Amino acid sequence: MKGRTKHKMNIGTLNRHTSEMTPQDQRRFFANENGDPLHAAFDKKSAVHPGARGWPLDPESIGEVWSKILAGEGKKEKRAAYFHIPFCETHCLYCGFYLNPFKAGEEENRYVDYIIRELEMVAETPFIKSHPFHAVYLGGGTPSALSHENLFRLLKAIQKHLPLANDCEITVEGRVYHFSDDKVFACIEGGVNRFSIGVQSFDTHVRRKMGRIETGEKVVKRLEYINSLDQTAMVIDLIYGLPYQTMEIWEKDVTKYIELRLDGVDLYQLNIFKKGRLEEAARKKTIAPPADIRMQADMFASGVEIMKRARYRRLSISHWGRTTRERNIYNTLALSGKVCVPFGSSAGGWLDGYFFFQDNRLDGYYRRIDEGDKPIAMSMKQPENNDLFKELAGQMELGRCHLKELGEHYGFELEEIFFPLLEQWEKVGLIKINEGWTELTLAGEFWQVNLCQALIDYFAVVIELQPVNN
């Protein structure tokens, strides 16, 4: 425990709080009791990462807050750095992260010049120098769209300006399209030890309908080749629930991954962005409808079963590793709210209790760097108990949490506080309480984000609004 006042609540008080909740809150926190938790535990499924809302900083004070953080040393804990490459060669139909068309040559060179300048601006600060970085992630967008020269000079600049731990995980995210040999070797020479490739599906028809260019066969060949170099962890993403992707196609996708003997895989649920191109196409019926929640639940269950039969190590609810080469460090640090220093237009990161989001307009990003500023567009101060929420979210992402230990560390009787929810969730089959651990069942795993968000929001309703101190 961190020497704080211990917060306790008795069950009677909790029941009173619970019965006084609005019907809307009750439906958000408590699962439906319909005997089918996998398909219908809640009315809506949350797809984004769970978390607590913070308070936006006055734009005038953001620069001062940032400078103050960088003048200190920060926590001595594992850190990550994130570099965003906000360009794509095509706009995939389902994607909510597309920002700018990729233009080789001058524009690409300019962006890499600026992101290196942004790195140089902070390289000598006490914060950056005080502790090693354990994960570096080049994400996007499409980092693999950059030329081999630009990939290499960016990676070299990162090695020069950030104190990287000896075993730092350095990931380049990309796609097979235009990921030529010269780029692959530039990455390896630049210190990359992990490729994360967005495959989504190996089925050519499904791929083409989503705007992915390469055929499934070409993707397979390319992955086999890069994997045969045996230089890096090879990790891919697969998505379930895409239009035209039947259960049979999905099972073939997961089985193909296993046949390829790569190092790791993420099995992601399709996230349909509101007012996005996929939602629009489905509404206009120019494309087959994506899978509904029931079908997605079945696809999740089937993916989990195939991975179980292959005896792969489960590193989180959606991520598996085959070899010890796959460590998944960046995602683990990011999901549990550890320091993540953002670089590049549209990058986001967390430092010392603040979330920072950088300018997503390229002209604004360039202008701010020319003015010698960190190009932050928005910042949120995280709520008081954010460390607790992040740790809770990190544990839930692993499919279990130890509320007693977590509570002892942060000064709350979490098992008591969450008792009404835990009791009901266990009854409907979303969790099992086992030797102090709250373990998610298969249905609980599918609804994990809802469960975690419900815990965070319930905590706010019960504790933050009406604190009860001993």
Residues within the interface to ligand SF4 (CB under 6 A): 88, 91-92, 95, 97-98, 140-142, 175, 198
- Residue number, 143 or 420, with CB nearest to ligand SF4: 143
Strands (E), 329-406: 340-343, 348-351, 354-358, 376-381, 400-401
- Residue number, 140 or 190, with CB nearest to ligand SF4: 140
Distance between CA atoms of residues 53 and 312, nearest Å: 35
Count of Cβ atoms closer than 10 Å to residue 285 Cβ: 8
**What is the number of residues in the chain?**
470
Find the shortest distance in angstroms from Cβ 97 to ligand SF4: 5
- Residue number, 92 or 136, with CB nearest to ligand SF4: 92
* Cβ-proximal residues to 368 (8 Å cutoff; 6+ apart), any chain: 359, 374, 375
Measured at the alpha carbon of residue 331, what is the angle toward residues 326 and 336, in degrees to the nearest 5? 130
Find the shortest distance in angstroms from Cβ 355 to ligand SF4: 21
Which residue from 244, 245, 237 is spatially nearest to 299, judged by alpha carbons? 245
Find the shortest distance in angstroms from Cβ 63 to ligand SF4: 29
Find the shortest distance in angstroms from Cβ 177 to ligand SF4: 8
Distance between CA atoms of residues 341 and 161, nearest Å: 13
Distance between CA atoms of residues 108 and 145, nearest Å: 9
Distance between CA atoms of residues 324 and 277, nearest Å: 38
* Token couple for 230: 């045996």
Residue 90 half-sphere exposure, CB side, CA atoms within 13 Å?
A: 15
Find the shortest distance in angstroms from Cβ 142 to ligand SF4: 5
Find the shortest distance in angstroms from Cβ 98 to ligand SF4: 4
- Residue number, 31 or 210, with CB nearest to ligand SF4: 210
- Residue number, 66 or 177, with CB nearest to ligand SF4: 177
Find the shortest distance in angstroms from Cβ 372 to ligand SF4: 30
- Residue number, 237 or 397, with CB nearest to ligand SF4: 237
- Residue number, 142 or 438, with CB nearest to ligand SF4: 142
